[in-house]
Chain A
Amino acid sequence: MGKMRRRRTFLHRAESFSACVPVGIGKGRGTCRRTGKSFLACAAAVLVLCLACGGLVFAGGPATDAGEPMTLESVGEPLPDGADSALLENPAGRACVIDQAGLLDAEDVALLNEECERLYEAYGVLVAIVTVDDFGGGDILDWQIRVFREDPFGMRAQDGVMLAISMADRDWGIQTFGSAQRAFNTYGRERIGEIVLESLSDGEYYDALDDFVGLCGRFLKEAEKGKPYSSEHPYRKSVPVWIIVAVSFVASFAVSFGIVSVWKKGMNTQVQRIGADEYLKPGSFHLTRSSDIFLYHTVSRSPKPKADSSSSGGGSSGMSSTSSGTSGKF
């Protein structure tokens, strides 16, 4: 588990120099990148770096937000009177990840913190994670707004995205603040929630949070390029490299085998003739009889595949979205 966690977090680092290679969100497979032994990864990273540079040159500078950035005060509904604001203690002073529910060990928290700090430096957006035993009831999105205002993270950020997990009623929520709402629009929050929920529901908390941070990086990068993910520009879940390489190998081998087989066949031009077409006198063929007789017909039927009846709304692991937050149960 320890190795896996290190590897996954290192993957986010790879994103820092990769404009085109998405940060992985799938289950970790492959070799440990921290050891730095994989030549393929290095070669791919170098090549991808070239593509990234080219991409940035052609993409131009960071795009500005299309809409008016929302300030902290303008986010969310007004706080209900007498609402109990949970106090989040953060002994570390400055940290993006506050794990009061104790879902992660110290090493996990450190790795996630490190990646969140990097994203904050790169994009100026706070990617925050908060886990608590019980947030006190009510709407978790409102609670998140209060937490963000209190700024237990010590970052004094105006723009941010926060994933909150409350274990009492298995609530989760993604709330966005300020200009981050552009990168994490309704589509984005739901898409991230959908992916994070897979691990969250299975109790794989580190994987879920690691996925969240990785996805935030991708969404921020895309927004910076002026093309935030949306229903018109959907985020596609990454395919693991080993699958891409394996498929590429099989396809390349098949095509290569076809090419050299044709060449090899061309080395022997002795081919027995099938017919005597060359010796059929031109114009000598004419039909003397032609009849098409219907005999019978058979009808077979097969049931149509049933559409997936599962719904993302409601139930034990659904979600709902407001203008700047998405929440649900896991």
Chain B
Amino acid sequence: MDFVEYKCPCCGAALKFSSGAQKLKCDSCGNKYDVEALKEWKEADGNAPEPELHWEFQKEAQGAKRTADGKYICPSCAGEIEVDEDTVSTKCPYCDNVVVIRATASGEFEPDAMIPFQVEAGDARQRLENFCRGKRLLPRDFKNKSYLKNLKGYYVPYWLFDCDARADMSFRATRVHTWSDSEYDYVDTSHYLVHRGGEMEFYHVPVDGSTEMDDRTTESIEPFDYAGLTDFNPAYLAGYETDKYDVDKKTAEVRAKERLYNTAETALRNTVTGYGSVVAQRRQMGTKGGRVSYALLPVWLFETIYDKKKYQFAINGQTGRMVGELPVDKGAYWKYLCGFTALGTAVCSLIGIWLFGGVL
């Protein structure tokens, strides 16, 4: 026979069932708990690992497998389809499902979609100047002595994750009530276990599929406007560099999961109101209809050389958002720090002497 032991959430001591109160009671700290509340608490306190999310690769889902005699199998009804070699997609004669043929035929590295470049190369210098504007710590001669190098338009391979997510999370929350009598100040802290569950839909959460690109850079130039997504067309690649992905979707899932969990937690936490403190205790999330697609998104990359050091910049090739790291003039940094400190000290001292007096 299995024995179930409940421990007090407050002090950790073993609880006993009090038949009179019909509650579990802690002899150590005196707290009493509803049986149902303890059950919920035990579930939430189980330290269960965050479950993996399930995704289906779009091509594998829609693409058709090829048989030994050159026919294709409809992924929907398993009917055999006979098509020409050049056929990209066709409709299954048995179930009317649109079957993608080219994905299988052209290889797994062919993207599902892409966003063509909309920002011109000539804008890079102007955008860099705009980017430098107002930067007080920029070396004064940076604009004159730096020069653009290796300007290239680059279609970065991205994995796009779509899903209907169901999140179920538990939070530890507290409410504090204070009062005083003639001798003591009292603090009464009430502890709550808060459950929130919700459903939400994510559309095209991007994860960089290239090891060549720094994840910080690719995430910094987000978001892309997915209204500009089109089917992959090799014609758009002319004049730009394109790499196939070298981060597989399984690896990319880790980052996608992290971002989805964080957003789900934020969304659910925002519904936990009226408490002084809220701390996430358990996070569970599942996906329905999770899909991964492979897309090429446009990024301008260039470097500047200043003082024999390289500084890399990236521009979202669709929206024009620019990110990068500029050199810091250490002299200007210390000049401003010391100058502000000296000025502030002088002004504050005079005001302080005026207000509070002093011994001269």
From known contacts A260-B333, A287-B271, A295-B41, infer whether A239 and B192 are also in contact, taking CB-CB under 8 Å. Answer: no
A residues near B245, Cβ cutoff 8 Å: none
Check A304–B180 contact: CB distance below 8 A.
yes
B198 touches A (CB below 8 Å): yes
A residues 70-129 touching B (CB-CB < 8 Å):
none
Question: Contact string, B116-140, partner A, CB cutoff 8 A, digits 1/0?
Answer: 0000000000000000000111100
A281 contact from B166, B184, B190, B202, Cβ within 8 A: B202
Check: A155 CB closer than 8 A to any chain B CB: no
Which residues of the other chain, B, contact A263 by a CB distance below 8 angstroms? Answer: 135-137, 336
Contact A293 B267 (CB under 8 A): no
For B8, list chain A residues within 8 Å (CB).
296
Asked whether any CB of chain B lies closer than 8 Å to the CB of A36, the reply is no
**Could you tell me which residues of chain B, from 305 to 360, have a CB within 8 Å of some CB in chain A?**
322-328, 333, 336-337, 340-350, 352-354, 356-360
Residue B185 at the A interface, CB < 8 A?
Answer: yes
Interface stretch of the complex, out of A194-202, A266-274, A312-320: A266-274
Which single member of A239, A272, A281, A295 contacts B352 (CB below 8 Å)? A239
Considering the complex, give the chain B residue whose CB is closest to the CB of A43.
Answer: B346
Chain B residues numbered 193-233 whose CB sits less than 8 Å from any CB in chain A: 193-206, 214-217, 219-220, 222-223
Cross-chain contact B344 with A44 (CB below 8 angstroms): no
Q: Are A275 and B352 interface neighbours, CB within 8 A?
A: no
Residues of A contacting B222 in the complex (Cβ-Cβ under 8 angstroms) = 273, 278
Q: 8 Å CB contacts to B: which residues of A24-77?
A: 24, 26, 28-30, 33, 41, 44-45, 47-48, 51
B128-177 CB contacts (< 8 Å) to partner A: 135-138, 166, 168, 173
Q: Which of the residues B205, B328, B352 comes within 8 Å of A247, measured between beta carbons?
A: B352
| A24 and B359 contact, CB distance less than 8 A | yes
Residues of A within 8 A of B34 (CB): 293
Among B191, B198, B219, contact of A285 (Cβ-Cβ < 8 Å): B198
The answer to whether B196 and A275 touch across the interface, beta carbons within 8 angstroms, is no
Listed stretches A15-23, A159-167, A179-187; interface member = A15-23
B interface SS class: mixed
The reply to whether the CB of B50 lies closer than 8 angstroms to some CB of chain A is: no
Q: Which residues of B contact A266 (CB under 8 A)?
A: 135
Partner of A236, one of B190, B214, B357: B357
Which of B94-102, B257-265, B286-294 is the contact stretch? Answer: B257-265
Interface members, chain B 21-59 (any A CB < 8 Å): 29, 31, 33-34, 36-37, 40-41
- The answer to whether A11 has its CB under 8 Å from any CB of chain B is yes
Find B357's partner among A21, A45, A290 (CB 8 Å cutoff): A21
Give the complex CA separation of A169 and B199 in angstroms: 86
On whether the beta carbons of A294 and B200 are closer than 8 Å, the reply is no
By a CB distance below 8 angstroms, the chain A residues around B251 are none
On chain B, the residues within 8 Å of A244 by CB distance are 348-349, 352-353, 356, 358
Asked whether B271 lies within 8 Å of A273 as measured between CB atoms, the reply is no
Does residue B183 face the partner (Cβ distance < 8 Å to A)? yes
A221 CB to closest chain B CB (Å) equals 12
A79 to chain B, nearest CB (A): 40
B345 adjacent to A248 (CB under 8 Å): yes
Binding-face segment, A135-143, A170-178, A249-257, A322-330: A249-257
Contact of A24 with B188 in the complex, beta carbons under 8 Å: no
Known A-B contacts A273-B259, A285-B199, A296-B191; the reply to A21 vs B360 at CB < 8 A is: yes
The listed residue (A22, A252, A259) touching B358 by CB distance below 8 A is A22
B187 proximal to A (CB < 8 A): yes
- Report whether A298 and B198 are in contact in the complex, using a CB–CB cutoff of 8 Å: no
Does the CB pair A48–B350 fall under 8 Å?
yes
**B197 A287 Cβ-Cβ under 8 A:** yes
Q: Does A275 lie within 8 Å of B359, measured CB to CB?
A: no
Q: Is A1 an interface residue (CB 8 A)?
A: no
Do A303 and B263 contact each other (CB < 8 Å), given the known contacts A239-B357, A267-B325? no
Interface residues of B (CB under 8 A from A): 8-10, 29, 31, 33-34, 36-37, 40-41, 135-138, 166, 168, 173, 180, 182-206, 214-217, 219-220, 222-223, 256, 259-260, 262-263, 266-268, 271, 322-328, 333, 336-337, 340-350, 352-354, 356-360
Q: Which residues of A contact B (CB under 8 A)?
A: 11, 14, 18, 20-22, 24, 26, 28-30, 33, 41, 44-45, 47-48, 51, 236-241, 243-245, 247-249, 251-253, 255-257, 259-260, 263-264, 266-281, 284-304
Closest 4 interchain pairs by CB? A252-B344, A24-B359, A238-B357, A289-B197
- Additional A-B contacts beyond A257-B337, A294-B192 (16; CB < 8 A): A21-B354, A238-B357, A239-B352, A245-B345, A245-B352, A249-B341, A251-B344, A252-B340, A259-B336, A269-B323, A279-B203, A281-B201, A284-B200, A284-B201, A286-B200, A302-B185
